[in-house]
């Protein structure tokens, strides 16, 4: 499958870094597009403040970025539909701007076969979360969304819990690292709290995960509410979920369920901190020492997720799975 990355921001570049590991032999990234200069794309691909230096040589040649010996076509076009993508099977739409059908379909109008959006989008025909609803992928779908990083962490966990102990009602708070949507110094960003300097304060805010979980897991729609707190760390986030189960058990029994879940759900029994989870490929890594069952029967579980690396791995996983549906 020949893939083009549109948008070489945090997710676009992380997808490229994950792909170069060779874990997805059926995927061939052949083209990159961004509104930044070729020099900026090359520099930010080679040097990363979170993940370090790129694991391979990065250099520019006329019309392409050579990545670990692979020449990738490099273009600078704000409107993807103006490019010729007739040789592309899938566009990974990583600009964060594909909210409307007009923008989301630009890759199709350029000649590509399908579009996978790296975030929530009303333009998507289907919102997929691996480990939650991937059975809904179909060959006739042209534009799909990979949901959000937090939804990818939460939805597979909720599916496992619903199918075992049951989830009557719950509350999830994501403790989320700051992102490029927040300013480095106080500056208007819409919501007042989100306008404050990202690295100086904890910022109570919203998350799209609550709405998206209802879409991805309609069988538990309306049962779990969500909120977020943005915190001054650059990578790795967490979900803190408390819920009323239908079938009561001990913390040890809940942990046994989490350990046997498999798939995109990992676990650790070590007392880790967020920086220990950097570049973990799972959608969520459950911290078993944090599991608690209160005297009243409320269950609390806690999981880490690298909101960039884990999500980028799911982009590649979903692309490979979608290809099999054809």
Give the HSE-up count for residue 8: Cα atoms under 13 Å, Cβ half-sphere.
29
Beta-carbon contacts of 113 under 8 Å, excluding residues fewer than 6 positions away, are 88, 89, 90, 142
Q: Is 146 annotated as a binding residue?
A: no
Beta-carbon contacts of 245 under 8 Å, excluding residues fewer than 6 positions away, are 161, 165, 166, 167, 168, 297, 299
Pairing between strand 70-75 and 28-33?
A: parallel
Catalytic annotation, pick one of 94, 149, 177, 313: 149
Q: How many CB atoms lie within 10 A of CB 228?
A: 21
**Distance, CA of 16 to chain centre:** 14
Q: Is 307 annotated as a binding residue?
A: yes
Nearest to 216 by CA among 206, 230, 226: 226
Handedness of CA 140, 84, 56, 9 (dihedral sign): negative
149 catalytic residue (yes or no): yes
Which helix (H) or strand (E) segment holds residue 246: the answer is: none
Q: Is 106 annotated as a binding residue?
A: no
Orientation of helix 309-325 relative to helix 149-164, angle to 10°: 70
Task: Map residue 290 onto helix, strand or coil.
Answer: helix
Q: Is 121 annotated as a binding residue?
A: no
Nearest to 250 by CA among 293, 209, 283: 293
Q: Is 34 annotated as a binding residue?
A: yes
Which residue ranges are tagged as binding site?
Answer: 10-11, 34, 118, 307
Which residue ranges are tagged as binding site for NAD(+)?
Answer: 10-11, 34, 118, 307
Catalytic residue positions, numbered: 149
């Amino acid at each position: 499958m020949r893939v083009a990355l549109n948008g070489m921001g945090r997710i676009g570049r992380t997808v490229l870094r994950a792909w170069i590991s060779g874990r997805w032999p059926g995927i061939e990234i052949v083209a990159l597009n961004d509104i930044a200069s070729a020099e900026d794309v090359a520099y930010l691909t080679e040097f990363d403040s979170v993940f370090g230096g790129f694991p391979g040589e990065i250099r520019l040649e006329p019309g392409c970025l050579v990545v670990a010996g692979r020449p990738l076509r490099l273009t600078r076009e704000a409107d993807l539909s103006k490019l010729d993508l007739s040789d592309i099977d899938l566009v990974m739409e990583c600009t964060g701007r594909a909210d409307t059908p007009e923008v989301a379909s630009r890759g199709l109008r350029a000649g590509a076969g399908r579009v996978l959006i790296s975030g929530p989008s009303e333009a998507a025909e289907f919102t997929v979360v691996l480990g939650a609803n991937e059975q809904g992928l179909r060959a006739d779908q042209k534009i799909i969304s990979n949901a959000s990083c937090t939804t990818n962490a939460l939805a597979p966990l909720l599916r496992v819990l619903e199918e075992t102990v049951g989830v009557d009602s719950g509350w999830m708070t994501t403790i989320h690292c700051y992102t490029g949507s927040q300013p480095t110094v106080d500056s208007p960003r819409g919501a007042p709290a989100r306008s404050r300097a990202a690295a100086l304060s904890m910022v109570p805010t919203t998350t799209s995960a609550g709405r998206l979980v209802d879409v991805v897991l309609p069988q538990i729609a309306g049962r779990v509410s969500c909120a977020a707190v943005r915190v001054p760390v650059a990578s790795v986030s967490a979900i803190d979920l408390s819920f009323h189960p239908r079938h009561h058990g001990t913390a040890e029994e809940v942990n046994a369920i989490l350990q046997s879940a498999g798939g995109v759900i990992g676990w650790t029994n070590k007392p880790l901190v967020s920086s220990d989870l950097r570049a973990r490929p799972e959608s969520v890594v459950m911290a078993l020492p944090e599991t608690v069952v209160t005297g009243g029967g409320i269950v609390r579980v806690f999981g880490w997720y690298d909101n960039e690396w884990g999500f980028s791995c799911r982009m590649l996983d979903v692309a490979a799975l979608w290809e099999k549906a054809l």
